[in-house]
Structure 1
Amino acid sequence: MADTRSSITNSFLSAFIITVTIWYTIQSSVENGFTVDYSNRFLATVPKNLPAQTMMLNLSQNTISELQLSDFRNLFKLQLLILSHNLIQELDFSIFQYNEDLEYLDLSHNNLSTLSCHLVASLQYLDLSYNNYTAMPICPEFGKMSKLEHLSLSARRIEKSDFSVLAHLQLDFLFLDLEDLSEYGKLPVFNTKSLWIALPKNREFSILLDLELSVIEHLELSNIQDKQVHDLKTFLSNLKKSGRLLNLTLNNAQCTWEDFTDILQNVWESTIEYFEVSNMGSLEAPNTIPFNYTETSLKALTIKQTTITTFRSDPKHMYTLFSEMNITALTISDAGLIHMLCPLKPTHFTYICFSNNSITDSIFKDCNNLTHLETLILQKNKLQLLTRVSWMTSLMKSLKVMDVSQNSLRYENSEKCHWGKNLINLNLSANRLSDSVFRCLPVNIQVLDLQKNQISSIPKDIIELSHLEELNLASNKLTDLPGCGQFRGLRLLNVERNSGFFQSSEFSQSCQNIKRLKAGHNPFTCSCELRQLINLEKQGFVKFVGWPESYVCSSPGVLEGTLLTDFHISEFVCSTTLQVVVFLMIALVLAAAVSFLCFRYDVPWYLKMIWQWTRVKHRVWKKKPEGMIDNVQFHVFISYSERDSDWVKNVLIPNLEKEDGSVRICQHERNFIAGKSIVENIIDCIEKSYKSIFVLSPNFVQSEWCHYELYFAHHRLFNENADGLILLLLESIPAYIIPARYHKLKALMAKRTYLEWPREKSKHGLFWANLKASINIKLPSSEVMEYL
């Protein structure tokens, strides 16, 4: 069976439109339904338990041999059923009695030989062709199928009366497979707009001579050979200017060049407007080709898959035959053409297609007689220089659409291009073009296809393409989204299947007008750079075609295979500005916290004390003679508040010091050395004393110098790993009167045992005994100390 033909030359057009319309209608209606595809599954029977919601069911390309009522009984919503290319032998239309919405039924290419009829009133499309019917499989019920539009039949025996049932139907398309015809009566006058007949292999039957056309507008004839060629020429000569036939398609016709030109001349002089021939083998054009270019109704001529050779003749005669045809559309594809002449005078050509030939850059060079040409298709040829192609179009003032895809086009920067001013749609896909092609483009271009080339980026120094709306850069070598600096009117961008991909900031800034983006099937690097691209989709500014299934992470490895819609990364990780702001905020908070703690715990005071201690120790170390040994000179150093001096001088010192000098006390009033600072004297006395007594009272905690002495003494305790502190509580100290910064004193009073001065005289003896015991140590004599 031949392929579906083109829209302007194919008599099978109506059937195609009907089929597409039915499919579209059904697909629109199943938006919330089910489509089940079991094609090519080696099934021997119809699957059981099909979903009850099934509306489209495809069972083609299997080995099903029998159909039963139970197969489709529960499919109440079934609208489309395809059973072609199976082994079905019998058909009883009653099996579809429960499928009241069935519109499309394809049973072609089976082994059907019998037919049991039952009215299926909803059918619009029925295909019973390419089966084993002896007689035409036409049921009386067919005449009641008022909705039937498309009917395909086959048989080995036909009579004129076989089609009487169809007389009252308004069919849009009828296909008759008569290839295996063995008995022939006569064909009726068909009441259909489109008729397609596969002529019988038996060449004795004069089908074409009996063919009567009344309302038929589209006719396709297949398998025309030998005698049938003569019958065809007779049939066409009888048409002349009568009849309503507008479209004629001849498929698989075996004839000579003379037969072809005779057929073409008859068509030229008839009412036919669109004429297509295909699969006519090889035609050898002669040197002389007579043709009468009389006034014609023909608008479009299509020659496909027919090789035209000129091995033994001058090709210019064949080129002239076609170039001088004053028609609207000319298609010669897959014919082996290597050239085509420019018409000798202005023509009415608006559409020319020479695809899949061997045409070179020299075609239509300096041709100024194609001023009405709007569409030029030269795909799959041997074009090489883009510059020559551009200059070819410069004289085609009406040219709007051009397809030069699948050639070997290249462009060098030094070459100058000059395109037709009205060219708005240009297909340059599948060539050898690089980045430089953007310097050789039509200024008014609106749709540009550059897929399958070698483009890695878009240069900055190109002319502004302000009218460009659609740009296809799929299957190139892009590593980033291009910007739209030179084509800000872009609406659709296709960058599928490129080398590598992540978001470009230039794209977000300059491509504000893009509404649809095709960027799927790229090796996306899922990192911070991709967030802007994902946000564009989430915010709905750009419609991502194929989202989300075509957008998948390829790196890093841990994210490979992850859909972009499932890829999440925080704003903080990706924003340097935000990181700096957060860092500064944390630094400010820490600085504030440190400042508060320093104020709360008087850290500056302690730092000041450490500094003083360090300075004194450094000064002592510098003055101390080398090899001098540290020696303790006093048993105890007494620290007290000046307000408690009476008790210290009159009670404490007299009870500790003996006349024999066995206990030596360091007291600031008598032992501080003039000339030294107070801090130096304090540190010096503490270091020369075995222990330090601190007379604690409310007066003590109010004295800052007392706290200095306590701090330095406690520092020495930790520095020398000794127990040199004696706390003597003269009066009880309420915790609330101790300043906050004296937490060291609070800690010492909480952790260390202290001596409390008893008020009762009976306890004084024990108090002094304990105190003397704590400082009992034998020190060197005064003379020795003075010697040392």
Structure 2
Amino acid sequence: MTTAKWHILLGTALTIASCLIQLILGYSYRNCIEISKSNHSAFRCLHRNAKNITDFVDDLPHTTTTLNISHNTLSEIPLNFSFTRLQNLSHLSLDSNKISDIPSDIFRNLHHLESLNLSTNYLVSLNPGLFQSLNTLKQLILHDNKLQSIPPDIFNGCPELNYLTLRKNNLSNFTAVVVSVKDLKKLTKLDLSFNKLQSLEDSASLPSSLQELYLTTNELHTLGCKPGLLGQIHVLDLSKNVNLSAVHFKGLNLSKIYLLRLRLTNVTVPELLRLTPSLKPAHVDYSGLNLGHNNSGIKSLCNLLMNSSTEMHRMILQDNNIHNLQPGLFFNCTNVTGSLDLSLNRLKTVGCLEFLEGQNFLQNITVEHNILSELKTCRTRSFHSLTFLSYRYNRILKVNEFAFAHTPRLQTLQLNINIIAFMHHKALCNLTELINLRLDNNLLSDLYNDSFIDLHNLKTLNLRNNQLSVIFKNTFQSLKSLYILDLGGNKISQFSEGAFTGLESLAKIYLDRNRLTQKYIPMFAKLSTTLKVLDLQNNRITYVDVQTTSPFANLSKLESLKLDAQQPYGIMILPLAFFSGLTSLKSLSLTYNYITGFGSNTFDDLVKLELLSLDNSCAGVKPLPAGIFKNLKNLIHLAVENMGIDLFSERVFGNLTSLRTLQLNRNAMSTIDHTILEKLPKLNYVDLRNTPLVCTCNNSELQNWTKNNQRIQIVYLYSMTCPLQSTTRFFHSFDTKVCYQDIGIYLFVSTSNVVLLLTILPLLYVKLYWKLKYSYYVFRSWFGEQWRRLRDEEKKCQYDAFISYNSADEEWVLKQLVPNLEGNGSSLRLCLHHRDFEPGRYIVDNIVSAVYGSRKTVCVVSRDFLRSEWCSLEIQLASHLLFDELRDVLVLVFLERISESQISAYHRMRKVMLKKTYLQWPGLDCDDPAQAQELFWTQLRRALRSSASIDQADKEGAEEEEDKDRAVDRKSKVYQSQTDDVRNILL
């Protein structure tokens, strides 16, 4: 096989491996979020802490076409890094980082890239081969860097480039820039603003396709260019080059200029037009050329324009320090057919637009950012062509009656962002064709029933951010065509009856940030046939009764309802049937309301709901009731952030079959059943950030699922940490090996061994029974002997004997027993109740310690002894050592003769007497008491010094005796149980 074929096979294998790796990875990304509905093609990676660019792109699919890695802290890009794996990229943004250098091969093989944004970084220079393979690039943004020069051939690999911005850099050599772009045959816009260019001297030519050239805020002190350098330019901006004068334009070909901006330069208009006859006066932006002194500059301009045959569509006179406008000022100007802009001047009044006399075709007037204080009554001649008038950003305090009677054809009137406190109720009279009216951001406190009397065609009325407190009856009675009414940001606390009369077409009403209470909501029922959007955010709607009738019952066509953040503490109590009747509602927002409880039927009527936002709307940690979303079959987006949800239940979320986006962040869930997520067929986006999912076996299946599911995007899964951990651990990587022990293996091994054993045992029984039995007894005998010997060698008891006696026999013990066993040169050490028991310790514990800590136990038996519970316990403990542990520890001493009938009730003692020889204290009735007593003490001392182990013969005898007495012994308890019973009786 040839080398070429091997390379082909290897490449194919690598491609397949790459695809397989992508398939087994879960639908989650370390530092990016897929933009909704992008089908694995568009990703946003903003405000992340990752330092390496590979942390952003390594887990993105090869289908990525749009990638935004803006507003991060990237500083360096590795030399060996490239976007080659993402060959389908068409839009890439790396702006607002700290990148100081970019390797040459980073964009290699991006043959589909159309837009590249590298702005707002720390780039000082560009590698010559940086853009060499971007043959489809159309837009390149490099503004706000620190570039000092441009390599000559850097853009040669970008034949499709049409927009290039290099503004806000440190470029000083215009020639170098021209050389770098001269071969870009499709370049139409070049922005070099905010650099350090000093002239336009150049030996090369700009691309013939270039139409817009922006050179504002440079250090140009001359142009110095060839006459034809700017011959193809349509838009040329030379503003804020204070050293430029008209003489620098002498001889230049500006015939194609459509808009020339010279704001804040040293150019004088008459001289400019004289020295550049190719420049059409109508195509100059006359802003910032100091034409306002005594209106003489404007008059001179008008005379020049009058002599020009060019039709003027717009006249821009911004920032000319104009203080006043004389009547007829523009009379001698050529007719302006489009717009006149007088913004950013010092105008105190515009009168009744007398300065526009003779301008009969003017359509738009903009007088923004001036110091107008009043609009006076105007009943003079009308400007019937005027359709747009803007007085925004002034200081208008008062609008008088008939202030716009001279502009009856107005369609848009903008009076917003002033300080209008008084507007005459007839100020807007005669504006019968007005469509859009903006009065927002003023100080209006009153509206009258005839304030809008003539506005029959008005469709949008914006009164936001004023001081309105009451809407009176018939205020909007004439607004039959009104579609949007914005009253947000006022102080409205009351609607009079009939306040909405006349609003026959109203579809959207905004009343957010007012002071409305719940009793005014039913008034919206009068808008039931048209109303689609109702915004009641940040009002004072609260309820005290869950049985309250729904205030929205008649709003069957309402599609959007906002009730967020009711003051001061939220709605809190939500009536059970609160949303009844809203059968067309598609969007509902209830955020920041701290509702104490939701009912299972709360949202039952919202069958068409598509967006539901409940963020921060629950007071405390509590589960949502089962079935609360049961009828929301069309819900697409659900936001339940910080709702105190502690259980992700199928009974709550299981019916959301159309859900695509689920925001569960900042809740109290420690575990989540991933099978519920899988049962939501259209879900593709889940946000679990800041949810305390525990890193234990309870979430082992969830962890495994999040890393392998291919349908649902878990937002920033790899940044989710384990709560309550001393060190930072991540949810996606906590150890789950202990959770997955293969029980099947253990069951197989154990059952197979049992089967094997049950198979072998019958064979062994038949073939080797007698041999095995013989071997067993031989081994048992040998092991017992070795064990006894080892135990005797190792065990060293504290006492030689523990004396068990009744207090009635204490005199004999102290005067006879103790002196003869411990005195007279004897080395025996005895344990006695009164002398050796540990004070403060349980009696039972002392007895147990004494019996087990002594080589022998001597029971001084009398009739009083047999009646004592403690003595019975002591002899039972000793007999336990004798019979169960096969230790010869028990010695019986009878102080008096007791008949066998009396002893028969004490089966333990009877068993001992049958097995062991006991001692009888010789009484005075014997022939020689002194000699008999001496023999008694000798035998007792010999018994105490004998071995504590039982020989094999005794052991077998004990076993036989044990069998005989087994029936009797069933009634007795083992040692531990007896000890517990005695202790319980004592306590």
TM class by shorter-chain length? 0.5 to 0.7
**Match for residue 261 of structure 2 among 210, 220, 224:** 220
Q: Cα offset for 1:251?
A: 4.7
C-alpha distance in structure 1 between counterparts of 2:189 and 2:246, whole Å? 26
For the 8 Å contact 2:223–2:249, the answer to whether it is kept is no
C-alpha distance in structure 1 between counterparts of 2:126 and 2:486, whole Å? 50
| Matched residue, 2:389 | 352
Q: Cα offset for 1:65?
A: 2.8
Q: Cα offset for 1:212?
A: 3.6
For the 8 Å contact 1:36–1:58, the answer to whether it is kept is no
C-alpha distance in structure 1 between counterparts of 2:536 and 2:304, whole Å? 46
- CA 1:536 to 1:373, structure 2 compared with 1: closer, same or farther past 3 Å? closer
- CA 1:27 to 1:383, structure 2 compared with 1: closer, same or farther past 3 Å? same
C-alpha distance in structure 1 between counterparts of 2:333 and 2:325, whole Å? 22
Deviations 1:201-233 (A, max 9, x none): 324573444554333323333322xx41x2x23
For the 8 Å contact 1:411–1:433, the answer to whether it is kept is yes
For the 8 Å contact 2:460–2:484, the answer to whether it is kept is yes
| Matched residue, 1:297 | 336
- Which has a greater percent of strand? 1
| Matched residue, 1:485 | 526
Deviations 1:91-137 (A, max 9, x none): 23521335455432211233322222232124332102333333324
C-alpha distance in structure 1 between counterparts of 2:204 and 2:420, whole Å? 53
| Matched residue, 1:711 | none
Deviations 1:665-685 (A, max 9, x none): xxxxxxxxxxxxxxxxxxxxx
Establish whether residue 44 from structure 1 lines up as the match of residue 107 from structure 2. Answer: no
Amino acid at match of 2:364: A
Q: Cα offset for 1:354?
A: 0.8
| Matched residue, 1:34 | 43
Q: Cα offset for 1:176?
A: 2.4
Establish whether residue 321 from structure 1 lines up as the match of residue 355 from structure 2. Answer: yes
| Matched residue, 1:466 | 504
Establish whether residue 554 from structure 1 lines up as the match of residue 594 from structure 2. Answer: no
Amino acid at match of 2:382: P
For the 8 Å contact 2:617–2:643, the answer to whether it is kept is no
For the 8 Å contact 1:330–1:351, the answer to whether it is kept is yes
Deviations 1:430-476 (A, max 9, x none): 11113415741242222211111123465553314111122222333
- CA 1:214 to 1:204, structure 2 compared with 1: closer, same or farther past 3 Å? closer
- CA 1:100 to 1:484, structure 2 compared with 1: closer, same or farther past 3 Å? farther
**Match for residue 476 of structure 1 among 504, 514, 521:** 514
Q: Cα offset for 1:273?
A: 1.2
- CA 1:436 to 1:343, structure 2 compared with 1: closer, same or farther past 3 Å? closer
The 3-state SS of whatever aligns with 2:298 is helix
5 Å-filtered alignment, 1:413-452, equals 418-436=453-471, 439-441=474-476, 442-444=478-480, 445-452=482-489
C-alpha distance in structure 1 between counterparts of 2:584 and 2:363, whole Å? 50
C-alpha distance in structure 2 between counterparts of 1:156 and 1:132, whole Å? 9
Establish whether residue 513 from structure 1 lines up as the match of residue 513 from structure 2. Answer: no
**Match for residue 272 of structure 1 among 312, 323, 346:** 312
| Matched residue, 1:333 | 368
**RMSD between aligned residues:** 4.4
Q: Cα offset for 1:332?
A: 0.6
Q: Cα offset for 1:405?
A: 0.9
Q: Cα offset for 1:356?
A: 1.7
Q: Cα offset for 1:489?
A: 1.2
C-alpha distance in structure 2 between counterparts of 1:206 and 1:238, whole Å? 7
**Match for residue 398 of structure 2 among 361, 376, 389:** 361
C-alpha distance in structure 2 between counterparts of 1:267 and 1:551, whole Å? 65
Q: Cα offset for 1:63?
A: 4.2
Q: Cα offset for 1:372?
A: 1.4
C-alpha distance in structure 2 between counterparts of 1:133 and 1:30, whole Å? 41
C-alpha distance in structure 2 between counterparts of 1:401 and 1:317, whole Å? 23
Q: Cα offset for 1:411?
A: 2.2
For the 8 Å contact 1:525–1:553, the answer to whether it is kept is no
C-alpha distance in structure 2 between counterparts of 1:354 and 1:195, whole Å? 29
Q: Cα offset for 1:335?
A: 0.5
Amino acid at match of 2:553: Q
Amino acid at match of 1:180: E
Range with greater deviation from structure 2 (149-158 or 493-502): 493-502
| Matched residue, 1:133 | 171
Q: Cα offset for 1:534?
A: 11
5 Å-filtered alignment, 1:42-81, equals 43-46=74-77, 52=86, 56-73=91-108, 78-81=113-116
The 3-state SS of whatever aligns with 2:271 is helix
For the 8 Å contact 2:185–2:207, the answer to whether it is kept is no
- CA 1:243 to 1:372, structure 2 compared with 1: closer, same or farther past 3 Å? farther
For the 8 Å contact 1:190–1:214, the answer to whether it is kept is yes
Deviations 1:522-562 (A, max 9, x none): 65647435665799448886666xx45x5424343336954
- CA 1:246 to 1:253, structure 2 compared with 1: closer, same or farther past 3 Å? closer
The 3-state SS of whatever aligns with 1:273 is strand
- CA 1:542 to 1:460, structure 2 compared with 1: closer, same or farther past 3 Å? farther
Establish whether residue 108 from structure 1 lines up as the match of residue 143 from structure 2. Answer: yes
The 3-state SS of whatever aligns with 1:233 is helix
C-alpha distance in structure 2 between counterparts of 1:486 and 1:223, whole Å? 54
For the 8 Å contact 1:138–1:162, the answer to whether it is kept is no
C-alpha distance in structure 2 between counterparts of 1:27 and 1:253, whole Å? 49
Amino acid at match of 1:65: S
| Matched residue, 2:492 | 455
| Matched residue, 2:125 | 90
C-alpha distance in structure 1 between counterparts of 2:444 and 2:366, whole Å? 22
The 3-state SS of whatever aligns with 2:427 is helix
Q: Cα offset for 1:402?
A: 1.1
For the 8 Å contact 1:435–1:456, the answer to whether it is kept is yes
The 3-state SS of whatever aligns with 1:166 is coil
- CA 1:543 to 1:369, structure 2 compared with 1: closer, same or farther past 3 Å? farther
| Matched residue, 1:197 | 238
5+ residue gaps, structure 2, are 1-34, 47-68, 587-602, 623-639, 654-987
5+ residue gaps, structure 1, are 1-25, 310-314, 572-788
- CA 1:147 to 1:366, structure 2 compared with 1: closer, same or farther past 3 Å? closer
The 3-state SS of whatever aligns with 1:510 is coil
Q: Cα offset for 1:275?
A: 2.4
For the 8 Å contact 1:36–1:56, the answer to whether it is kept is no
Q: Cα offset for 1:179?
A: 2.3
The 3-state SS of whatever aligns with 1:410 is coil
Q: Cα offset for 1:340?
A: 4.1
| Matched residue, 2:875 | none
Range with greater deviation from structure 2 (202-211 or 330-339): 202-211
Amino acid at match of 1:509: A
Amino acid at match of 1:493: L
- CA 1:183 to 1:335, structure 2 compared with 1: closer, same or farther past 3 Å? closer
The 3-state SS of whatever aligns with 2:354 is helix
